Every structure is written in C-alpha cells, then in structure tokens.
Amino acid sequence: MKIAIASGKGGTGKTTVAVNLSLSLQDAQLLDCDVEEPNCNLFLKREMEPITEVTTVIPEILEENCTYCKKCSDFCRFNAIATLPNKIMTFPALCHSCGGCMMVCPEGAIQECEIVTGIIRKSTTKDQTGPELYEGLLDIGQTMASPVIGKVKKYIDPTRTAIIDAPPGTACPVLTTLEDVDYCILVTEPTPFGLHDLKLAVEVARVLNIPHGILINRSGSGDDSVEKYCADEGIEVLMKIPQDTRIARLYSEGIPFVEEMEEWKEKFMQLYISIKDRYGRSEKA
C-alpha cells in the first residue's frame, strides 16, 4: 500500500509524521520525495549511497545550421528558447523536455543534449530495523523536481508498504508525488494559516480522487477552525499529535519521538491498520 504524507505548506510536521509512521511499521519503505530539501534522514541518520542519477534531455542548438526562423521559440510555451535576428538562446531551467522544438525545426538545427538534474540515494544499513529509506536530491540550480520524484517512486516495492514524504505546497511536484498513491494523510496545524493551506491540499486530493484524512499536529496550540472545517466537509480527522514539550524536545534533537515514546508506535500502527483495512490491498505492514 502506498500512503503519501502531504501538507499545503512546509513546517507543519509532515516529515515527522512520515518518519514516525514508517518506524512504527515492519518492513516499510520510506521514500523522501521532498527533493529540494529531503529531511527524513535528519531523523533516521542512515548511511546513504547514490544508486542512480536522474537525467533529462534539453535542446542544444547547432547555430551554424540555424536560420533564426523563430519556429522553435514560437512553439515553446515555456519560453525556454528566445530567437533574436542573429542570435538564439536557450534557458534550460525553463525547459520541460517536451521535444517539440526539435520536431518543428526545419533545418535540423536542434539536437538532444542529456543533463544530470539530480540523484537518488538509498540507505545502506541492511541489518538495521526500521524502514528502507530512499531519497531524491535535486541538483542545486535545477528547477524540475518532478522527474527526480518520478524516479524515487520507481523504487517502490509493490509487495511492501510505502510511506511517501511529499514536497510542501500544491504545485506540480506534489501532483507527481500523489499520483497513484492509495491514500493521502494531510498534515496540518490547528491555526487559520494551517487551515488556509489545508484547504488547498484537500482540493488537490479531491481533484486527483485520492482518499484522504487529516492529521492535526501540535493539537491544542491554536483554535478549532481546522476541526470545524473537517466536520463541515466530512473529512476524517485521523489523529491528533498534541503540543507536547517532550515531542518538541525530541524533534529539536533530531530524534523520532516514537523511539522514546513507545506508546506512539502503537498509535501509528493502529492508524495504519485503520487506513489499510479501508483503502489498502494485501501487502504486509
């Protein structure tokens, strides 16, 4: 079963939930798809080894063949090519690798050029208990997170439980992360700001038709606006993690709180079982 942990914005405790939930299961995989800033391993502290590069194809202009006809730049809806009267420029960071410019060029003046945009790493500690960790890491200066996320997800073992830490926000990288998951836990804080971002995240889950429920982090620290919204919208509140100085201290020390507060392992396991019973298939926990 594939369970994504998402939130409308960063800083709500999404990674904490992903790490603690995966540590509460047996033989789970944890996939860190927050590829601009993968943080799961700050808590797991595993040795990681690179297992593959992520590459993408961008256009390379053979300017000696170019007649500056502008067909390529007119075609590119991402403004990744600009044609001047005697000069042509490409902006690889804007390119979505659709290949259209190559197809429309009448002079054969554009060729494919492969560049590395990120890497995938895997935990090497085989004898250790806890989840098998994979993380994607987008190269500095690169903007196309989705191909890196897509590659991380290729390592999902369909016979096991995969916990997927999504990037913050509601843009393309989140859509790529949530595509094909069985269930999405939306993590929020009980504040008006949390509610605002939660509503956007709920919209994404609804558009993608993914069953979802809410986990309220730092419960007791704000107001009841999130719970009222969930009641009005018929969205299940799956769990509340209280505002608790012990949890906050462990977080600040980079320690998953289930490791010192064993009772939470059982709570996360029960959360998983309740989701799996309703939305899962037949994998082991």
Alpha-carbon Rg for the chain in angstroms: 22
| Residue 88 lies near ligand SF4 (rule: CB under 6 A) | yes
Sheet strands (E) in 33-130: 48-61, 81-84, 87-90, 110-123
CA atoms within 13 A on the CB side of 21: 29
| Residue 101 lies near ligand SF4 (rule: CB under 6 A) | yes
CA-CA distance, 76 to 63, in Å (whole number)?
Answer: 18
Q: Which of 31, 33, 48, 105 binds ligand SF4 (CB under 6 A)?
A: 105
Q: Closest approach of Cβ 116 to ligand SF4, in Å?
A: 17
| Residue 71 lies near ligand SF4 (rule: CB under 6 A) | yes
Interacting span for ligand SF4 (CB under 6 A) from 104-112, 137-145, 182-190, 204-212: 104-112
**13 versus 59: smaller Cβ distance to ligand SF4:** 59
Determine the 3-state secondary structure of 164 from DSSP: strand
Partnered with residue 50 across adjacent β-strands are 121
| Residue 10 lies near ligand SF4 (rule: CB under 6 A) | no
| DSSP letter (8 states) at residue 25 | S
| Residue from 61, 68, 151, 52 nearest 113 by CA | 61
| Residue 144 lies near ligand SF4 (rule: CB under 6 A) | no
Instruction: Assess contact for 53 and 152: CB atoms under 8 A.
Output: no
Instruction: Assess contact for 25 and 62: CB atoms under 8 A.
Output: no
Instruction: Assess contact for 26 and 87: CB atoms under 8 A.
Output: no
How many residues line the site for ligand SF4 (CB under 6 A)? Answer: 27
Q: Which of 83, 117, 142, 170 binds ligand SF4 (CB under 6 A)?
A: 83
CA atoms within 13 A on the CB side of 2: 19
Partnered with residue 60 across adjacent β-strands are 111
Q: Which of 52, 55, 67, 270 binds ligand SF4 (CB under 6 A)?
A: 67
Q: Closest approach of Cβ 74 to ligand SF4, in Å?
A: 8
| Residue numbers 204-243 binding ligand SF4 by CB under 6 A | none
Instruction: Assess contact for 40 and 245: CB atoms under 8 A.
Output: no
Interacting span for ligand SF4 (CB under 6 A) from 2-10, 31-39, 98-106, 217-225: 98-106
| Residue 159 lies near ligand SF4 (rule: CB under 6 A) | no
| Residue 66 lies near ligand SF4 (rule: CB under 6 A) | yes
Q: Closest approach of Cβ 89 to ligand SF4, in Å?
A: 11
> Contact positions toward ligand SF4, by CB under 6 A?
59, 61, 66-72, 75-76, 78, 80-81, 83, 88, 95-101, 105, 107, 109-110
